[in-house]
Structures are given as structure tokens and as C-alpha cells.
Amino acid sequence: MDFHYHSLPNLFEQLGLPREPNFIAHFIDVHSPLPSGQRLADAPFWTPAQATFLREELLGDADWAEVIDELDARLRH
């Protein structure tokens, strides 16, 4: 199986969000910290399509999983 490295800007683009570093930093600042018991995909700021993508990629341990975990960690500081 081929795995591809995806960056945080690539993830934001995949989610239909701006990929610029300033937007990503602002997004993380606005939505941090996530409550300790809340899964990233269940956060209220995602659209249903975004939440589904995050959930499926993590459950399937797909090549997006690593960068999704990175976003999760950054949102929890």
C-alpha cells in the first residue's frame, strides 16, 4: 500500500478550508482547546461532510490519519 505525506495545509484544503498559514493559526486559536473527552470529528465547528471525512480517515488509518492527529494535538495544546 502506498502512503502519501499530507501537510496541514493539504488537510485544510481537503476539508474545503483556506490553506494559508495565517488562516490555519487563526482556526486553531479560535477552536482551542478541545474538551478532553471530545473526539476531533465530533467538534461542533465541522460541517457534516468534514466530520465524516475526519472520522473515516481515522477509522481506516488512512494516509490522512497522521496529519489529522497533528491537528487534533494542536487543537488540544
Q: Per-residue pLDDT tens for 12-27? A: 999 999 999 999 999 9
At 10, the pLDDT band (50, 70, 90 cuts) reads very high
pLDDT at 1 over 70: no
Radius of gyration of the chain (CA): 12
Q: What is the pTM of this model?
A: 0.91
Euclidean distance between CA atoms 22 and 49, whole angstroms? 24
Superfamily (CATH H level) for 8-76: Uncharacterised protein PF10982, DUF2789 (1.10.10.1130)
Write down the domain spans for the chain: 8-76
Cα–Cα distances (Å) from 3 to 31, 35, 53, 63, in that order, read: 29, 31, 17, 5
